[in-house]
Structure 1
Amino acid sequence: MANPIKTVASDMKTLWHLAVRRAKGKTHAERLENFYSGQANNYDDFRRRMLHSREEMIQSVNVPEGGVWVDLGAGTGENAEHIGPDIEKLSQMYLIDLSESLLDQAQQRIDARGWGNVKPVCHDATTFVPAEGQADVVTFSYSLTMIPDWFRAIDHAYSLIKPGGKIGVVDFYVSRKHPDEALKKHPWGTRSFWQPWFASDNVFLSPDHIPYLLNKFETVKLDERRGKIPYLPFIRAPHYLFIGQKPVDAVGQD
């Protein structure tokens, strides 16, 4: 059983990084590493209570026998655990991130579990290409909001995925002021509060993630939800879960 005093102390350290310490660096990679290096050891425990629907997103994708899975913005590699025993079906899983500190945690996880087919790679999510050339599955777990050119990341994911392959995304967002009638509409207060609140930590919520994904992929599953944020007891942050498929008859790389 977790020690509550130790948990609160770890949370306070993480919250200090989130609320007080600002990421510094000339490049996106430098800012990410500067932001996460001091909280990498506490990363999973805190965000497990903040980043909702990750496990469901991962487990909503059928694991392809002998397939290649690319997790873009993989952090500490916890998503690989959510796959469960079926991870052995994959020929290779790549954990892509720009933070060396988080990838060090991922490597420790890999070593502890003896995964021979999981590889952490420090690389930009908008340009990484696996040795196999393409992937059967590409996932983004609360990483699109931290990628400045998120639309390029989605376009690149589309180019990587084989026809008929799957994409899985879960992330924070806000709706458009006038969304499609099939999508949820957030009130002004939701749209006005959460964007600047997250932006202070270089997490940029967008009203265009869902429309862009719907335009690029065939929809398998879409849920728009809200989830608790630690130490903010009476409000819920909006997030979405999307599973899509690249059309079987897709031609070309874009």
Structure 2
Amino acid sequence: MSFFSDLRILYHLTMKPVRGKDHASRLENFYSGQAHGYDDFRKRLLQGRQEMWDAVDAPPGAVWVDMGGGTGSNLEYFGERRAAMKKIYVVDLSRSLLEVARQRIEEKNWTNIETVEADATAFQPPEAPVDVVTFSYSLTMIPDWFAAIENALAMLKPGGLIGVSDFYVSRKYPSDGLKRHGWFSRSFWPVWFASDNVFPSTDHAPFLHRHFEPVHFEEKQAKVPYIPFLRAPYYVFVGRKANGPAIMNEATENKISF
């Protein structure tokens, strides 16, 4: 991907006003001009996705819903597990991103994958309850993110898994076991991301821990392309819906108790 393509992405990220009468139209306005250069730039910015996918131990024949799946680039992380899934849904409100996902699916001949233009707070697949629901850097762009998580909880089977990777900021006084960010991080990142209608929250991680049994959790920082010295805080969470069988994998070592 060329430097000039990166400049186009940076323009949309930092300078182009985001307009629209509702959430769907604002998303389309933001992504329509950068959809085809989206994946390469985001690969350098959006860290933790591979770790999240590795920590999700989905059984063969599972139904998997990727909320805010955009261009379908997340499908590349599945590896050989992709063919073993009964069904994978890529759900998004941006028509431009989903068009890239459809092209990817057709080129790869992935017959068990379907794109759906729908709202993450309301979409329910016909196969529900499902085995896995994931949000990869989409939760911060969903205005009613808590409703999206509650929708995922309702959609999952007992013992089903939710996976989330996203930007965030800590609470000023976080619970034991969670990192505490300094004043600059807690103040700067919400303002910086808000111009793109991305809202890092202090409440994502606590809300997820309250609603799901943690299987894997980590808090890290990611480099921001072309902006030296700045590191954006992000987290990776995989949790299990209650009343299901134990799910054991190496990520369980990172479990936190609350």
TM tier relative to shorter chain:
over 0.9
What are the equivalent positions in structure 2 for 1:44-193 lying under 5 Å apart?
Answer: 44-193=39-188
> Could you state the TM-score of these two structures normalised by the residue count of structure 2?
0.93
Q: Is the aligned partner of 1:216 residue 2:211?
A: yes
CA positional deviation for 1:171: 0.2
8 Å contact 1:63–1:87 — kept in the other structure? no
Select the residue among 18, 23, 41 that pairs with 2:13: 18
For the aligned residues, what is the CA RMSD? 1.1
Q: CA deviation at 1:232?
A: 1.0
Question: Which ranges of 4 or more aligned residues in structure 1 deviate by more than 3 Å?
Answer: none
Contact 2:137 2:165 survives alignment (8 Å): yes
Aligned equivalent of 1:241 = 236
* Aligned match for 2:201, one of 206, 219, 224: 206
In the TM superposition, what is the alpha-carbon distance from 1:60 to its structure 2 partner?
A: 1.4
Shift of 1:249: 5.3
Q: CA deviation at 1:115?
A: 0.3
**Which has the larger displacement, 120-129 or 16-25?**
16-25
Q: Check whether the contact 1:107–1:120 (CA below 8 A) recurs between aligned residues.
A: yes
Amino acid in structure 2 at the alignment position of 1:89: A
Contact 2:160 2:244 in 1 (8 A): no
Q: Shift of the alpha carbon at 1:135?
A: 1.0
Q: Which residue of 1 aligns with 2:250?
A: none
Aligned residues: 245
* 2:214–2:238 CA contact under 8 A, matched in 1: yes
Q: 2:59 & 2:126 partners in 1: Cα distance?
A: 17
Task: Give deviations 1:28-64, integer Å, cap 9, x for gaps.
Answer: 0000001100000000000000000112211211232
Q: How far apart, in 2, do the equivalents of 1:221 and 1:85 lie? A: 22
Task: Give me the whole-angstrom Cα distance separating, in 2, the residues matched to 1:161 and 1:174.
Answer: 27
Deviation at 1:142, TM superposition (A): 0.3
The percentage of counterpart residues that share the same residue type is 55
Shift of 1:182: 1.1
**What CA distance in whole angstroms lies between the structure 1 residues aligned with 2:58 and 2:17?**
38
Deviation, structure 1 residue 111: 0.7
Offset from partner CA, 1:62-97 (integer Å, 9 cap, x none): 232111000000010111110011111111000000
Q: Return 5+ residue gaps in structure 2 as ranges.
A: 246-258
Aligned AA (1:128): F
Alignment deviations for residues 145-179 of structure 1 (CA, whole Å, 9 cap, x no partner): 00000000000000001001100000000000110
What's the secondary structure of 1:126's corresponding residue? coil
**SS state at 1:238 partner:** strand
1:235 CA drift (Å): 1.3
8 A contact 2:169–2:200 mirrored in 1: yes
| TM-score where L is the length of structure 1 | 0.95
Partner AA of 2:62 in structure 1: G
Give the letter for the 2:16 counterpart. R
